[in-house]
Amino acid sequence: MNKISNVFYKSFAVVVILFTSVVAKAQIDVDIDLGKQEWYEDPKVWVGVAVFLVLLVLLARKRK
């Protein structure tokens, strides 16, 4: 019984090491595109969100 648990723990450790190495390898390939602007960096989006929040607050106040 003890030999079986040792084999299990060793094989589990090998699987964990292989999995973490695959995850680490996947994180190395990072594509950084500095010329592209994301949607949340656009000032028009922030103005639209601010207008929406102001309208939401005004509508909430009128319902009382």
Residue 20 · residue 27 · CB < 8 Å: no
Position 4 scores a pLDDT of: 67
Rounded Cα distance, 9 and 2, in Å: 11
The CA-atom distances, in angstroms, between 38 and each of 13, 19, 20, 33 are 41, 32, 30, 10
**Whether pLDDT at 27 is above 90:** no
Q: Which amino acid is at 54?
A: V
Side-chain-side CA neighbours of 46 within 13 Å: the count stands at 5
Where residue 11 falls among pLDDT bands split at 50, 70, 90? confident
| pLDDT at residue 55 greater than cutoff 90 | yes
Structure confidence at residue 3 (pLDDT): 66
Q: Answer whether 0.75 is exceeded by the pTM.
A: no
Tokens of 33: 């595109």
